Amino acid sequence: MSKNNKNITLDEAIHLSYSENLENHKHYLNSALVDYLGLINLYRRYVKAKGTSLWDDKGNEYLDFLGGFGSINIGHNHPKVNDAMDKVKELPNIVNSLYPLPGALAHNLAQITPGNLQRSFFCNSGTEAVEAAVKLAKASTGRDKIIYCDASFHGKSLGSLSFSGREKFKEAFYPLLSWGCKIPFGDVEALEQVLKDGKVAAFIIEPIQGEGGINVPPLGYLKKVREICSRYETLLILDEIQTGMGRTGKMFAFEHEEIVPDILCLAKALGGGIMPVGAIVTTDSIWQKAYGSIDKCLTHTSTFGANTRAMAASLATLEVIEEECLIQQAKEKGNYFIDKLNALKEKYNLVKDVRGRGLLIGLEFHSTEGVLNKLTGGLVKNLSMDFTGALITGELLSRHCIIVAYTFNNPNVIRLEPPLNVTYEQIDYMVDSLEKVLQKNKGFLSLASKSTKSLLKGSKHIFKSISSK
């Protein structure tokens, strides 16, 4: 690769062509990701986004049923959040002082959370919120162990990864933190067993597992978890990074069971899909035990954590959620959507399960793994787990201009997380399109063989590298 010492300006970058953009990604970013997205035909050059819609450089409109992996609850480029960016554009973004926006946002988070949740800490992402929560739990209890669940996902920095359930993301990084202990999701007996020794600082759990495959625990589970944690004075950390901000038809998913966590983790939609914002919210007593003295008040900080623009985006996001009754919309539209998907499940064998709450919905397909391995002579063995979800994702995008994705830890599950103000017409279009995909691919075999042909045609070098792993 030759270097020409010439920088691309912002204006040029905005107008780069499809192929120039692809070249930059291939040469300067994650080249294997470029191959991977190409394999399942997911390249597009999107040039505009508004509400639930995106437009590519050829003027085609797409519907976003992925919603930035749960970050776009209020829709793309919501005018209120964009206006908020304008309103604060002359305020200092980062200064060494106490300025009003973080205080106001922390005040608001204390109002919208139940019980004695009161104190916030701001950071820039989900994984940082989890790091902050686990450190706070350790520092305030003086205990060591952290319990987490099978198939959980809490982020990819080393601490969060140590407490996440999927081996594939962890195996290259061992030894990770040694004080984690994994238990099955939904199993209260297992939880009680591990808490009995009185040495556990916290149990971290998603109220509904997002990346694990939109796994909803049995009703009453979280209530029992709350009781058990309180009995053994173990802190309950709820990771609502994907489930929070109205997504499940309540502001926070734990409200379905009327419990209160000790530490709440937020990110993704908190920044309105425009600014990266992460947060934890906890009680005064937990915070004070850990960081409540002058010598400890700088123990856990973040340079950009409470920057003005991020705080303005979050303040505006909370206003939008309330003004547009997005929580109610998530509930009603989620029920409508789930009913329609269940009707498809009755008709098509490929659909194994429909589950979720509000507009956090998982659509599980039967695996085509065995069929694909046979058809490719074992060539796709290492990737084949990823295929049913990937194939449906590719079909929906290329034939119907609908964006979805499968979940990280369970690739046979497609996640449906549109903006909460998605319209009924858009939901109908999505369901009709999905039905067309299922109609055309009635059996696993036709879906698998058609896709295998196109995969083999275009991607020989990729298969080579996959099969040698």
Q: Which residues are catalytic?
A: 153, 239, 268
439 and 19 Cβ atoms separated by less than 8 Å: no
**Residues, the chain:** 469
Phi, psi of 223 (to 5 degrees): -65, -45
Position of tokens 């990864």?
161
Least spacing, CB of residue 303 vs ligand PLP, in Å: 17
Minimum distance between the CB of residue 374 and ligand PLP, rounded to whole angstroms? 33
Report CA torsion sign: 444, 449, 451, 455.
positive
Beta bridge partners of 357: 360
Residue of 126, 60, 381 whose CA lies nearest to 278: 126
CB of 59 to ligand PLP, least distance (A): 31
The Cα–Cα gap between 359 and 338 comes to 9
Of 340, 254, 280, give the one whose Cα is nearest residue 123. Answer: 280
Of 153 and 221, CB closest to ligand PLP: 153
Q: How far is the CB of 153 from ligand PLP (least distance, A)?
A: 5
Instruction: Please give the radius of gyration of the chain, using alpha carbons only, rounded to the nearest integer.
Output: 23
- CB nearer to ligand PLP: pick between 217 and 459: 217
| Dihedral over alpha carbons 332, 337, 342, 343 (to 10 degrees) | 110
Nearer to ligand PLP, 156 or 199 (CB): 156
Q: Are 413 and 319 in contact (CB under 8 A)?
A: no
Quote the Cα angle for 426-427-429, to 5°.
65
Cβ proximity to ligand PLP: between 127 and 452 the closer is: 127
Q: Give the shortest CB-208-to-ligand PLP separation in angstroms.
A: 9
CB-wise, 64 or 395, nearer to ligand PLP? 64
CA distance linking residue 166 with residue 169, whole number of Å: 6
Amino acid code (one letter) for 115: G
User: CA 6 → CA 2, 3, 204, 253, 430, distances in Å?
Assistant: 11, 8, 47, 49, 44
> Amino acid letter at 242?
Q
d(CA 40, CA 59): 22
Q: Give min distance, CB of 166 to ligand PLP, in A.
A: 12
How near is the Cβ of 161 to ligand PLP at its closest, in Å?
Answer: 10
Q: Which is nearer to ligand PLP, 243 or 384 (CB)?
A: 243
Instruction: List interacting residues with ligand PLP (CB under 6 A).
Output: 69, 125-127, 130, 153-155, 206, 210-211, 239, 241-242, 267
Angstrom distance (rounded) from CA 66 to CA 422? 12
What's the CA gap between 45 and 22, in Å, rounded?
9
Which residue's beta carbon is nearest to the bound ligand PLP?
A: 126
Nearer to ligand PLP, 130 or 401 (CB): 130
C-alpha atoms less than 13 angstroms from C-alpha of 160 in its C-beta half-sphere = 21
